[in-house]
Amino acid sequence: MARIATIETGFYRIPLPVTLSDSTHGEIAAFELITCRIRDADGAEGVGYTYTVGRNGGAVADILKREIPPLVEGREADDTEAIWHHVWWGLHYGGRGGPAVLALSALDIALWDLKAQRAGLPLFRLLGGYDSRVPCYAGGIDLDLSVEALLKQTDGNLAKGFRAIKMKVGRPDLKSDVTRVAAMRKHLGDGFPLMADANMKWTVEEAIRAARAFVPFDLTWLEEPIIPDDVAGHARIMLAGGVPIAAGENLRSLWEFKNYIVTGAVSYPEPDVTNCGGVSAFMKIARLAEAFNLPVTSHGAHDITVHLLAACPNRSYLEAHGFGLDTYIEHPLVLANGMALAPARPGHGISFDWKGLAKLVA
């Protein structure tokens, strides 16, 4: 083993080619990327990252730069579990979620990347290895697109090799949502995996009404129908709506997922490795879901998460996220027949274009 020598933080604002929007976050013109580069005493480096949809990235970067290094420098880099708990409790009083757990997630990802590289293994094999081919869907951010533009975007995703599609719902009137879902189902045909994401738009009663209206269109799941804080509300929608529910991208710990799972409030737990506590927490959430016979899906950071789901026998779909880093990494995600392929390179295999990112420093 080698001890942690240095931690380097990067903070970048990456413009999107097209301004995106959903039902709650408003217009998204750029996303913030916060990177963590850990070097050990032997000179080996691991890289992690997290992101925001445009705000609060400065707080995350500041925690990574100021608060975390004194907690971890000089510790054994392979001791990922010990480091995770040391940082979690070190930041707990002023954190326990929000920017603190996003910073911890980036740190933990970097440590696992370093550990896998030192072992000479791709991350998914270090995590146990199950199947390097993971079903993958295209996560469209398309709420304000016309039906014609929505179908055109869908055709573009099909041409890229996707064999599952997610669309946005949560427009001001349910009739408009139903019209769009119906158009997508007709366009894709019966049996094609189609998901819908409401981004926390509705009340419980509105969500039940919407779910029932979507039943004829055979959704794989309805995602985040209400705010993540209402666990009992999700359970009510599960019982009364008639559609499977995916949730978890806004949950920040294993224990929050536990509350959802044990109360029957979710069909597809959906952690995001960049904000749930990193690889360490993601894998615990996936194992917890497995114990309850639930399939686990993912949100965001598909370049890393493909490894995690490739190590899970209960994996369902990997989300290929709208905030892709393809322009700034050497090896973008590879698809084959609708399956994402976990790369065989040591670590998570992401090589950033640091010179290109330097032009986007926030």
What's the per-residue H, E or C state across 297-320? CCCCCHHHHHHHHCCCCCECCEEE
Catalytic residue among 115, 168, 234, 348: 168
Q: DSSP of 84-106, one letter per residue?
A: HHHHHHHHTTT-SSHHHHHHHHH
How many Cα atoms within 13 Å fall on the side-chain side of residue 154?
Answer: 27
User: What is the per-residue pLDDT for 21?
Assistant: 67
- Both tokens of 147, joined, read 């039906």
Q: Please give the Cα distance from 92 to 216 (Å, whole number).
A: 45
Domain 125-341 - what CATH class? alpha beta
Read off the pLDDT of each residue in 309-318 and give the average, rounded to a whole number. Answer: 98
Question: Is 168 assigned a catalytic role?
Answer: yes
The 3-class secondary structure across 254-288, one letter per residue, is HHHHHHHHHCCCCCEECCCCCCCCHHHHHHHHHHH
Which of 201, 234, 299, 302 is labelled catalytic?
299
Domain with CATH 3.30.390.10 in the chain: 3-120+353-359
Residue 286, pLDDT > 90, answer yes
For residues 9 and 69, is the Cβ–Cβ distance under 8 A?
A: no
Q: What is the pLDDT of residue 29?
A: 85
User: Is residue 302 annotated as a catalytic residue, yes or no?
Assistant: no
Q: Note the pLDDT tens digit of each residue in 111-162.
A: 999 999 999 999 999 999 999 999 999 998 889 899 999 999 999 999 999 9
Q: Give the residue range(s) of CATH 3.20.20.120 domains in the chain.
A: 125-341
Nearest to 150 by CA among 16, 335, 158: 158
Q: Could you tell me the fold of the domain covering 3-120+353-359?
A: Enolase-like; domain 1 (3.30.390)
Burial of residue 185, with CB atoms counted within 10 A of its CB: 0-12 exposed, 13-18 middle, 19 or more buried: middle
This prediction has a pTM of 0.97
Band (pLDDT 50/70/90 cuts) for residue 322 is: confident
Q: What letter would DSSP give residue 156? A: H
